[in-house]
Amino acid sequence: MLIKRRQFLTTCGIATLATQISPLTAESANTIRKPPRLQVGDTVGLIAPAGIVDAKDIEAAQQSILQLGLKVKLGKHILDRYGYLAGRDSDRAQDVNLMFSDRSIKAIIPMRGGWGCNRILPLLNYSLIRSHPKIIIGYSDITTLLLAINARSQMITFHGPVATSTWNQFTVDYFKRILFNAEAVTMQNLNPSQVRVEIIAPGKARGKLVGGNLSVLSAMVGSPYLPSWNKSILFVEEVGEDVYRIDRMLTQLKTAGILNQIAGFIFGQCSKCSLGDEPSFTLMQVLQQHILPLGIPAWYGSMIGHIKDKFTLPIGVEVEIDAELGTIQMLETAVSLV
């Protein structure tokens, strides 16, 4: 009797965990949801799901968002501090869930990255998020939220500026065209003489756009919070890493079976990346070693990463890339008109 009771409790525990991790029904699992587009006068929710922010950061971010014609609502725990995190895991997760459930909020913009989003993934309500689709955008550590929500809630998410980013003309232009105007844009570097596209392998490819910060993505490998890689277009970016670490992370993606599934590859910018003190390969040599054997179109140098001029990249949208031109052409809109 005791054994049967233990078996029953164990089964219930597994069932509960499965419900948290896989909230979608079989019918809805293959249907991707697009959040409604932004309109002037809409309210944006600012949250701090990762690193600590201060009042000065919030004030500056509010001014940037207001200049876009949007209103601002702050997360309940945005100024919390817990070690190097912006509050306890449960509180940071609560702010994410509350922003999605709040019908007055039309988009969610994290204040900054850092570290911490991976810790809150089991605490997010993915069924709630799917039933209240709205724009969530960011980069760096926010990669975790973008990929997990895309995978578990089957919703388009956006790799782009955080609230404390430089909202210059280049960044705002792509942000507005994709998220306000619902355009299917072609993304191309503004000034090829300043940011040169370096072709790894020429050609064109189509697939769903997936990716983000390389180290954050690598840290998620083996978890149930990653989307399908089958025939996808993988984009990555990095900052402050020695080349051997880039090699290590790409090797991890390779041995995990991810690289062998993708149809195209884009490395955005590797800002402040160095060769290190020991004898080293160049970054391009490492990229060629990992990507050339795949026989897929690939290039380095897209406007993606810890840089001032940023594309807004819709994760989960069908795109076509051209490695020789360094272009990312959206084949569909990323937001709905209602």
Please report, for residues 39, 97, 101, 126, 226, the alpha-carbon distance to residue 132 in angstroms, rounded to integers and kept in the order given.
17, 10, 6, 10, 20
Among the listed residues 77, 159, 290, 306, the single catalytic one is: 306
Same domain, 67 and 165: yes
Among the listed residues 140, 165, 215, 302, the single catalytic one is: 140
Do the domain assignments include residue 48? yes
Domain-terminating residue out of 147, 179, 211: 179
Mean pLDDT for 11-31 is 45
Percent of the chain whose predicted confidence (pLDDT) is above 70: 90
Mean pLDDT for 109-127 is 98
Q: Given this model, what pLDDT does residue 73 score? A: 98
Q: Given this model, what pLDDT does residue 14 score? A: 34
Same domain, 88 and 193: no
Do the domain assignments include residue 95? yes
Same domain, 281 and 165: no
Is 140 one of the catalytic residues? Answer: yes
Mean pLDDT for 115-132 is 98
CATH of the domain at 73: 3.40.50.10740
Q: What three-state secondary structure class fits 123? A: helix
Do the domain assignments include residue 295? yes
Domain-terminating residue out of 131, 164, 179: 179
Number of structural domains (the chain) is 2
Mean pLDDT for 52-59 is 96
Q: Predicted confidence band at 22 (pLDDT cuts at 50, 70, 90)?
A: very low
Q: In which residue are the tokens 């084949």 written?
A: 331
Beta pairing partners, 204: 322
Residue range 309-318, pLDDT digits in tens: 999 999 999 9
Q: Is the pLDDT of residue 181 over 50?
A: yes
272 close to 239: Cβ distance less than 8 angstroms: yes
Do the domain assignments include residue 2? no
Do the domain assignments include residue 64? yes
101 close to 128: Cβ distance less than 8 angstroms: yes
Is 28 one of the catalytic residues? Answer: no
Range of the domain at 142: 43-179
Q: Is the pLDDT of residue 33 over 70?
A: yes
**Which element (helix H / strand E) includes 14?**
helix 2-21
CATH of the domain at 252: 3.50.30.60
Q: What three-state secondary structure class fits 216? A: helix
Looking at 94-103, 194-203, 291-300, 301-310, which range is the least confident one?
A: 194-203
Mean pLDDT computed over every residue of the chain: 91
Same domain, 210 and 307: yes
Q: Given this model, what pLDDT does residue 102 score? A: 98
Among the listed residues 237, 241, 290, 302, the single catalytic one is: 237
Q: Which two tokens stand for residue 330?
A: 């959206």
Q: Is the pLDDT of residue 10 over 60?
A: no
Same domain, 76 and 47: yes
Do the domain assignments include residue 297? yes
Separation of alpha carbons 82 and 289, rounded Å: 42
DSSP for 25-78, written as a single string:
-TTTTT--B-PBPP-TT-EEEEE-SSB---HHHHHHHHHHHHTTT-EEEE-TTT
Mean pLDDT for 217-244 is 97
Q: Is the pLDDT of residue 324 over 50?
A: yes
**Which element (helix H / strand E) includes 135?**
strand 135-138
Q: Given this model, what pLDDT does residue 30 score? A: 63
Q: Given this model, what pLDDT does residue 120 score? A: 98
Is 318 one of the catalytic residues? Answer: no
Residue range 92-114, pLDDT digits in tens: 999 999 999 999 999 999 999 99
Q: Given this model, what pLDDT does residue 11 score? A: 36
Do the domain assignments include residue 25? no
Residue in 133, 144, 87, 78 with CA at minimum distance from that of residue 111: 78
Same domain, 236 and 164: no
Q: Is the pLDDT of residue 242 over 70?
A: yes
